Structure 1
Amino acid sequence: MVVIGEKKCLNSELWHACAGPLVSLPTAGSRVVYFPQGHSEQVAATTNKEIDAHIPNYPSLPPQLICQLHNVTMHADVETDEVYSQMTLQPLTPQEQKETFLPMDLGMPSKQPTNYFCKTLTASDTSTHGGFSVPRRAAEKVFPPLDFTQQPPAQELIARDLHDVEWKFRHIFRGQLWNFFIINLISL
C-alpha cells in the first residue's frame, strides 16, 4: 500500500491478483462510455434496497454518456476484501465528442504478479497450533530460497494484505510430509 497525502493506494499487483486476470482498468485521459441507468441499478442492488424499491430513473439523461476519465483509484472492502475501483469521469460536450481522439493505449493491462499462489484459508489453517500446506513447486516459485543446511530448513516471512496489515509466518520444509512446504502462523 502506498500513502499519497492522506490517501492510501493499494498495491496494484496485489489488487489485480485479487481482481483476476480478465480485469483491466482504463488509464486516466481515456474516453469511456458511462451508463447512468446501469450504475443506478448497481447502486440499488449493492445497497441492500428492498426488491420492491424504486430504482431512480433520470429521463433527461441519455442512456449513455461519453466521458473523459480523470482518475482511477483501487480499493478493497474492509469487511469482505472484495476489490473495486473508483473512477472520476467528466461528460464530454457534443463538440468535444466530435474532435479527433487518439487513445494513448487501450487500458491498463492487468498487472498480475508473475509469481504468486492463491489459497483460501480455513479456520484450521490460521490456528496457532497448525499450519497450512503449500505445494512444493508453488513454494519454490514464490518464496525466497530456504537454507537446507538448517534442520529443519526454515525462515520467517512477512506478508502484507490488502489493508496493509502485516502477517508473520514461519516457512518450514518437511520433506517427509507429502513433499509440501508448511507455513506456520507466528503472530497476527
Structure 2
Amino acid sequence: MEIDLNHAVTEVEKNATCNGGCHKEQATASCVCCVPSSSSSSAVSSSSSYLELWHACAGPLTSLPKKGNVVVYFPQGHLEQAASFSPFTPLEIPTHDLQPQIFCRVVNVQLLANKENDEVYTQVTLLPQAELAGMGKELLEELGADEEGNGRTPTKTTPHMFCKTLTASDTSTHGGFSVPRRAAEDCFPPLDYKQQRPSQELIATDLHGVEWKFRHIYRGQPRRHLLTTGWSIFVSQKNLVSGDAVLFLRGENGELRLGIRRAVRPRNGLPESIVGNQSCYPNFLSSVANAISAKSMFHVFYSPR
C-alpha cells in the first residue's frame, strides 16, 4: 500500500533529468496539483516539515524534477530497471520503435511512502513533448545549466532535526531510545529541570500520518534523555533493528515528525502493488508508446534509495 504525501507538499524544490531510476509506469494518469488544501501559515509549515522529512529519509543525493521542468525519459534504462526485478528474461523484448531519448514535460510530482517498509519513493507524471526532440544538444545543455544553478539540495527551512543510528540497546524490548542531549533540547519541547524526574509526553507523526506517543524522561546516572513508554511498540511495529536510523524533525509550528532509514536497503523500495505483477513487464513500453502517440500522460516511479 502506498501513501500519498501530496496533500502536505507545496512543491518539490529540485531540478533534475529523469533517467534510468524509474521502475514501472502506468499510461493512465490523474493530475493532482501539488498545493496544500489550506493557505494558512500552519498548513504551510506542516507542508515544509513533510517535504524536509521526505528528503531526509530519501538521502542527501536525491535529486528530483519539479512541476513544469523538461526532462528526458530513457526507455532502455526504464526497461533494464524493470527487467532486474523480473524472475525471468524473455528472449526478445519489443521496443515499439521508441526513440532512445524522449523529451517530456513534468506535469506532477508526488512524494510517496511505502507503508510496507517506510521507504520513500516518487511518482512522476510525464507529458511527451515531441516538438522538443529537434532541439537536441542545445536543450540538454540548457537543462544541465538549470540544474547546476539551482543546486542539488533544497533550501533548508527547519534546522530542528536529528538522525540517530539505532544501537542494540535502542532496539531492545526492555530498554528505551537514548537521545543525545543537544538533539533532545533542540527538537523536543523543553523539560522542567526543576522536577525530580523531568518528563513529558511526546506525539510524533510519521510519513503516513500515524501518530506515535512516547514518554520523554531525563534520568539516570549520569542523567540522559530517554524515550521510554511507547518506544518498544514503535520498534516492534516498524520492525526496526540495530543499524537502522530514526529521524526526528520539529517544524516551525512545533509539530514533531519522525521517519526511518533502513540499514539494509530493500532490493526494491517500491510497493508490491506497483512491482508485484512483473510477468508482463515488457508490455509497459507499449503503454508508453501509446501515450506518446496520443500525446497523453504516463507515470514513472522512482525509488531514490
More strand by share: 1
Structure 1 residues 61 and 96: CA distance shift in structure 2, 3 A: closer
Indicate the residue corresponding to 1:12 in structure 2: 51
- Among 224, 228, 249, the alignment partner of 1:180 is 224
Structure 1 residues 25 and 81: CA distance shift in structure 2, 3 A: same
TM-score (norm 1): 0.78
Indicate the residue corresponding to 2:187 in structure 1: 142
Indicate the residue corresponding to 1:115 in structure 2: 160
- Among 66, 83, 89, the alignment partner of 1:27 is 66
Paired residue total: 183
Q: State how far apart, in whole Å, the 2-side matches of 1:57 and 1:90 are.
A: 22
RMSD: 3.5
Asked whether the 8 Å contact 1:24–1:110 carries over to 2, the reply is no
Structure 1 residues 52 and 130: CA distance shift in structure 2, 3 A: same
1:94-133 superposed matches below 5 A: 94=131, 98=135, 106=147, 109-110=153-154, 113-121=158-166, 125=170, 129-133=174-178
Indicate the residue corresponding to 1:168 in structure 2: 213
Matching of residue 65 in structure 1 with residue 110 in structure 2: no
Asked whether the 8 Å contact 1:128–1:184 carries over to 2, the reply is no
Counterpart of 1:183, as a letter, is L
Structure 2, unpaired ranges of 5+: 9-31, 37-46, 234-305
- Among 67, 73, 76, the alignment partner of 1:37 is 76
Structure 1 residues 162 and 120: CA distance shift in structure 2, 3 A: farther
Give the structure, 1 or 2, with the largest relative contact order (CA under 8 Å, sep 6 or more): 2
Q: State how far apart, in whole Å, the 2-side matches of 1:25 and 1:131 are.
A: 36
Asked whether the 8 Å contact 1:76–1:163 carries over to 2, the reply is yes
Give the SS at the match of 2:83.
Answer: helix
Structure 1 residues 161 and 131: CA distance shift in structure 2, 3 A: same
Counterpart of 1:40, as a letter, is L
More helix by share: 2
TM-score (norm 2): 0.51
Structure 1 residues 134 and 128: CA distance shift in structure 2, 3 A: same
Percent of residue pairs bearing the same amino acid type: 52
Structure 1 residues 123 and 176: CA distance shift in structure 2, 3 A: closer
Per-residue deviation at 1:28?
0.5
Per-residue deviation at 1:118?
2.1
Q: State how far apart, in whole Å, the 2-side matches of 1:117 and 1:154 are.
A: 20
